[in-house]
Structure 1
Amino acid sequence: MASQKSPNPLVRLAFHVEHHVESWSWRLRRKVGLGRPPRILPYRGYGTPRQSVIKARVLEDRHVRPPWKRHTLLGSAIASWKRYMTVEIPHARVKVCWGDKHWEGTTDEEGFLELWVEPPAGVKAGWHDVELELLSPAPKGVARVRSPVLVAGSEAEFGVISDIDDTVIVTNVTNFLKRAWTLFLTEHRTRLPFEGVDAFYDALHQGSTGSAGNPIFYVSSSPWNLYEHLDEFLGLHRIPAGPLLLRDWGLSRTGFAPGGGHGHKLEKIRGLLATMESLPFILIGDSGQEDAEHYRTIVHEFPGRIRCVYIRNVWHRPGRERELAFIAADIRAAGSQMLAVDDTVTAARHAASQGWIRWREVAEVQAHQQQDAEARTLLDKLDRDHG
Structure 2
Amino acid sequence: MVYRLAHQTHQRWSQLRRDLRTRLGIPKPLYVLPFRGYGTPARAVVKARVLEDRHVRPPEQRRSLVGAAVASYKRYATHEVPGARVQVRWGDKQWEGLTDEEGFLDLWVPPPLNARPGWHEVHLHLPDAAGQPGADAVGQVLLSGTDSELGIISDLDDTVIETGVTNPLKRAWALFLTDHRQRVPFEGVGAFYAALQAGRHEGVLNPLFYVSSSPWNLYEHLDAYLQTHEIPAGPLLLRDWGLTAQGFAPGGGHGHKLDKIRAVMDTLAPLPFLLLGDSGQEDPEHYATIVREYPSRVRCIYIRMVHSRRGREAELARLAADVRAHGSELLVVEDSVSAARHAAAQGWIRWAEVPDVQRAQGEDAAAAGVLDRLERHP
Deviation at 1:139, TM superposition (A): 7.0
* Aligned counterpart in structure 1 of residue 24 of structure 2, from 21, 32, 35: 32
Q: Are the equivalent residues in 2 in contact too, given 1:94–1:136 (CA < 8 A)? A: no
Q: What residue in structure 2 maps to residue 3 of structure 1?
A: none
Deviation at 1:140, TM superposition (A): 5.7
| Paired residue secondary structure (1:192) | coil
- In the alignment, residue 174 of structure 1 is paired with which amino acid? T
CA distance, structure 2, for counterparts of residue 27 and residue 215 of structure 1: 42
Q: Are the equivalent residues in 2 in contact too, given 1:93–1:136 (CA < 8 A)? A: no
2:339 aligned with 1:347: yes
Q: What residue in structure 1 maps to residue 312 of structure 2?
A: 320
Deviation at 1:79, TM superposition (A): 1.4
| Paired residue secondary structure (1:120) | coil
Query: How do 1:1-387 residues align onto structure 2 when only pairs under 5 Å count?
Result: 9-135=1-127, 137=129, 143-386=135-378
| Paired residue secondary structure (2:331) | strand
* Aligned-residue CA RMSD (Å): 1.3
CA distance, structure 1, for counterparts of residue 211 and residue 92 of structure 2: 32
| Paired residue secondary structure (2:162) | coil
Deviations 1:156-209 (A, max 9, x none): 100000000000000011111111111111010111100000000000000011
| Paired residue secondary structure (1:58) | strand
TM normalised by structure 1 equals 0.95
Q: 1:233 to 1:190 in 2, by over 3 A?
A: same
Deviation at 1:210, TM superposition (A): 4.1
Deviation at 1:136, TM superposition (A): 5.3
Deviation at 1:153, TM superposition (A): 1.5
Q: Which range moves more in the overlay, 105-114 or 69-78? A: 69-78
CA distance, structure 1, for counterparts of residue 232 and residue 53 of structure 2: 28
Q: Are the equivalent residues in 2 in contact too, given 1:50–1:118 (CA < 8 A)? A: yes
Q: Which range moves more in the overlay, 47-56 or 252-261? A: 252-261
Deviations 1:279-325 (A, max 9, x none): 10000000000000000000010001000000000111100110011
CA distance, structure 1, for counterparts of residue 332 and residue 72 of structure 2: 34
Q: What residue in structure 2 maps to residue 4 of structure 1?
A: none
Q: What residue in structure 2 maps to residue 5 of structure 1?
A: none
CA distance, structure 2, for counterparts of residue 167 and residue 13 of structure 1: 38
- In the alignment, residue 301 of structure 2 is paired with which amino acid? V
Deviation at 1:31, TM superposition (A): 2.3
Deviations 1:345-371 (A, max 9, x none): 110000000000001111000000000
Q: Are the equivalent residues in 2 in contact too, given 1:38–1:60 (CA < 8 A)? A: yes
Deviation at 1:10, TM superposition (A): 2.4
CA distance, structure 2, for counterparts of residue 254 and residue 73 of structure 1: 35
Q: 1:47 to 1:176 in 2, by over 3 A?
A: same
The unaligned stretches of length 5 or more in structure 2 are none
Deviation at 1:138, TM superposition (A): 5.3
- In the alignment, residue 95 of structure 1 is paired with which amino acid? Q
The unaligned stretches of length 5 or more in structure 1 are 1-8
Task: Report the identity percentage.
Answer: 60
Deviation at 1:372, TM superposition (A): 0.6
